[in-house]
Structure 1
Amino acid sequence: MIISSLLDTDLYKFTMMQAVLHQYPAATVQYRFKCRTAGIDLARFVDEISEQIDGLCRLRFTPQELDYLRGLRFIRADFVDFLGLFHLDRKYLRLQPAASGELELVIEGPWLHTILFEVPLLAIINEVWFRNTSQPDWEEGERRLQHKIQRLRALPDAEACAIADYGTRRRYSADWHARLLPQLRDRLGAQFVGTSNVLWAMRYGLTPMGTMAHEWLQAFQALGPRLRDSQAAAFEGWAREYRGDLGIALSDVVGLDAFLRDFDMYFCKLFDGMRQDSGDPVGWGERVIAHLAANRTDPRSKTLVFSDGLDVDKVEQLYRHFRGRCRLAFGIGTHLTNDLGPTPLQIVIKMTRCNGQPVAKLSDSPGKSMCDDPGYVRYLRQVFELPPEPADS
């Protein structure tokens, strides 16, 4: 099976899931799959994907895995006890081929019981596609990996350029992912700060990395506060759960302008930093640094995390531009875990509804927004004082 452990997912799924258990255990949600790469016929592999999903739904957390989670400082005992009873249930998932060759994949049910589907489903779809459509060139993959490591090590004051693996969902395969991480650990040393993947963190003695994803802030659009207050309420809810731990805030759920309006001096001082996941990274960093300074917060005490489609060229550019002005961290995904020759897929699973109401991400990058209700997108833009964007869908 492609997924052999429920820990084979990103840490922020567990951190969000714990907060859902404690704060919104009755919330219901809907997620939808989308392949952004044109001309990809995933439907022909629907039976193989479905078989892998059946295997995923048979998995349970092992005692060793639960003990590992229990040892993380921010994971509470009651959440681990809940995970001891947990499994992914196929009844919350609808999978069928569409006439266009796309997959129609919808996840719908209690947020608490569906939140862990996203990452392993994307990893399954990705690996099924590549095992059926390509032959891996392991030697070329190794050559490219070593070249990246050499370039990262050659940066001035390299340990200040913190590198993390964020590549689970779009990796070439689980085997390749497991093969490259020990090399990053051993050759980059302290410069390699960890991985988002909890299973590999446990197996290879790495630090699991991650805080929140877009769905945490999207859900608050339907969880009770005024829509205009939803982003601030999501940050308040996070702080209530983690009391200053896991303090990297995501900045692009309704665009940077709206984020900066909501991220006032209280949040600037409370959170450890911000993460960039769409738009122009240099412009984003300059505006965030200026915002911190304007709110009486020393940017050099905060971490700017860049994670939007990074490769080594972008890491080097951003590191040289911002070095010494703030703390820097870079979450590299596909460029590490799926760079063996074949073109990676751009596939996502996004929350589209919560408690029966539409929710949306309004990305700073064209084409990354996703919502099934264009009327709601227009309303969301109006509420957050954003200009209309015809590309939203």
Structure 2
Amino acid sequence: MIITSLLDTDLYKFTMMQVVLHQYPAAEVEYRFRCRTPGIDLVPIIPALKEELAHLCSLRFSDAELAYLRGMRFIDSDFVDFLALFHLNEKYVSIAPSAAHPGEIELVIRGPWLHTILFEVPLLAIINELYFRHAYPRHDLAEARARLDAKIALLRDTPGFDKVRIADYGTRRRFSGAWHEQALGIMREGWGGQLAGTSNVLFAMRQGMTPIGSMAHEYLQAFQSLGPRLRDSQVAALEAWAREYRGDLGIALSDVYGLDAFLRDFDMYFCKLFDGARHDSGDPFTWGDRVLAHYGKNRVDPRTKTLVFSDSLDIPKVMELYRHFEGRCLLSFGVGTNLTNDTGPDPINIVIKMTRCNGQPVAKLSDSPGKSMCDDPEYLGYLRRVFDLPAA
């Protein structure tokens, strides 16, 4: 089977799940799947996908996995005790061919946030791997190895880039789990200390690497329902995070409502409290320049803060960004699909996004066209008005 461990997911799923357990255990949510790549027929993989889902829901955390999680400084013992009893339940997931769009699948996850939050990443990894097995059943990974070797050499051997640190963010859209783990070993051997770690907790444990992650879009989106009022939802989410982690895991995600709204809410208190911010949509150079200027206006030395770039990066783009921001701040780069699914065939762009929390719509207002996902256009318009954002 494709997923053999519940640790085969991104770290930020666990860090968000701990907040849910401690602060919002009764929240009810809905997630929906979307393939953003046109012309992809996923219907043939549905029978195998259902088999993989059943297997995923049979998995439990092993004692060794729980001990590994317990050793992380920001993971509380009561959360690990909860995970010792935890398993995913397939009653929360429905999968069927789309009636409206031939070739597409309707995948909906609906249930308690605490019991559904771990579905997203493994399901995306499963769908991706099943698709490539079906579409390219005899694909040779020699091309993947050659491309990865070229990327490693480009960064390692170009003068002036020896301090660049890259993390693997490629779990959800990888070509396969086997290639993902093999690629990490190749990167570790080729880059050494330039490979900062991986978002994948299982492979971090197996390969003695640093697991990396903090929060994702769903966390801030949920506060559109959980917060005191809609306009204060971003502030409420950041406050709740600070209460949970007390200064640890201090990278704030900046693009749930766009950069303008983020900077309005990210005042001097948050500038000093959080270690930095993560970019995931819009022009990264403009974003970084504006965030650094914002730190200066709030009497914070930008050189003490970290900018994390993670939007559709490849190695040349990483090098451009490093060249532009070097010496002005601390830098980190999360590279996903380009490291784990650059094997020859074009990767597909698939997502599972939270669309409702406690019965009401939630949404992301992205700085990049096409990244927003909401089933209620009226709510999107209302959200834009509340955050004083222009119409799409």
Provide the TM-score with structure 1 as the length reference. Answer: 0.98
Q: 1:156 to 1:294 in 2, by over 3 A?
A: farther
Q: Which runs of 4+ in 1 moved over 4 A?
A: none
Confirm or deny that 1:183 pairs with 2:149: no
Distance 1:159 1:232 in 2: 37
* Counterpart for residue 28 of structure 2: 28
* Counterpart for residue 73 of structure 2: 73
Asked whether the equivalents of residues 197 and 212 of structure 2 are also in contact (C-alpha less than 8 Å), the reply is yes
Q: Partner letter of residue 358 of structure 2?
A: N
* Counterpart for residue 49 of structure 1: 49
* Counterpart for residue 340 of structure 1: 343
RMSD: 0.8
Distance 1:137 1:318 in 2: 33
Post-superposition CA distance 1:219-246 (Å, at most 9, x none): 0000131100000110000000000000
Aligned ranges 1:358-369 → 2 under 5 Å: 358-369=361-372
Q: Partner letter of residue 165 of structure 1?
A: D
* Counterpart for residue 123 of structure 1: 125
Distance 1:360 1:89 in 2: 25
Q: What is the DSSP-based 3-state SS (H/G/I as helix, E as strand, rest coil) of the residue aligned with 1:107?
A: strand
Q: What is the DSSP-based 3-state SS (H/G/I as helix, E as strand, rest coil) of the residue aligned with 2:166?
A: strand
Confirm or deny that 1:220 pairs with 2:243: no
What is the total number of aligned residue pairs between the two structures?
389
* Counterpart for residue 4 of structure 1: 4
Q: For residue 21 of structure 1, report the CA deviation from its aligned partner.
A: 0.2
Q: Partner letter of residue 86 of structure 2?
A: F
Distance 1:174 1:246 in 2: 27
Q: Partner letter of residue 27 of structure 1?
A: A
Post-superposition CA distance 1:81-116 (Å, at most 9, x none): 000000000010111111411110000000000000
* Counterpart for residue 64 of structure 1: 64
Asked whether the equivalents of residues 159 and 190 of structure 1 are also in contact (C-alpha less than 8 Å), the reply is no
Q: What is the DSSP-based 3-state SS (H/G/I as helix, E as strand, rest coil) of the residue aligned with 2:225?
A: coil
Q: What is the DSSP-based 3-state SS (H/G/I as helix, E as strand, rest coil) of the residue aligned with 1:175?
A: helix
Q: For residue 70 of structure 1, report the CA deviation from its aligned partner.
A: 0.4
Post-superposition CA distance 1:196-234 (Å, at most 9, x none): 000000000000000000001000000131100000110
* Counterpart for residue 135 of structure 2: 133
Post-superposition CA distance 1:318-355 (Å, at most 9, x none): 01111111111110000000011011010000000000
Aligned ranges 1:230-309 → 2 under 5 Å: 230-309=233-312
Q: What is the DSSP-based 3-state SS (H/G/I as helix, E as strand, rest coil) of the residue aligned with 1:286?
A: helix
Structure 1 gaps, min length 5:
none
Asked whether the equivalents of residues 122 and 170 of structure 1 are also in contact (C-alpha less than 8 Å), the reply is yes
Distance 1:167 1:136 in 2: 19
* Counterpart for residue 170 of structure 2: 167
Distance 1:328 1:136 in 2: 36
Asked whether the equivalents of residues 144 and 342 of structure 2 are also in contact (C-alpha less than 8 Å), the reply is yes
Distance 1:33 1:149 in 2: 33
Pick the aligned partner of 2:108 from 82, 106, 109.
106
Aligned ranges 1:349-388 → 2 under 5 Å: 349-388=352-391
Asked whether the equivalents of residues 227 and 237 of structure 2 are also in contact (C-alpha less than 8 Å), the reply is no
Q: Partner letter of residue 303 of structure 1?
A: T
Post-superposition CA distance 1:259-292 (Å, at most 9, x none): 0000001000110110000000000000001001
Asked whether the equivalents of residues 27 and 355 of structure 1 are also in contact (C-alpha less than 8 Å), the reply is yes
Q: For residue 156 of structure 1, report the CA deviation from its aligned partner.
A: 4.1
Which stretch of structure 1 is more off in the superposition, 242-251 or 184-193?
184-193
Confirm or deny that 1:193 pairs with 2:235: no
- The percent identity for this pair of structures is 69
Q: For residue 157 of structure 1, report the CA deviation from its aligned partner.
A: 4.5
Asked whether the equivalents of residues 227 and 236 of structure 2 are also in contact (C-alpha less than 8 Å), the reply is no
Q: For residue 159 of structure 1, report the CA deviation from its aligned partner.
A: 4.3
Asked whether the equivalents of residues 93 and 110 of structure 2 are also in contact (C-alpha less than 8 Å), the reply is yes
Post-superposition CA distance 1:7-44 (Å, at most 9, x none): 00000000000010000000000000000000111012
Q: What is the DSSP-based 3-state SS (H/G/I as helix, E as strand, rest coil) of the residue aligned with 1:72?
A: coil
Distance 1:98 1:173 in 2: 25
Structure 2 gaps, min length 5:
none
Aligned ranges 1:200-211 → 2 under 5 Å: 200-211=203-214
Confirm or deny that 1:86 pairs with 2:89: no
Q: 1:224 to 1:325 in 2, by over 3 A?
A: closer
Provide the TM-score with structure 2 as the length reference. Answer: 0.98
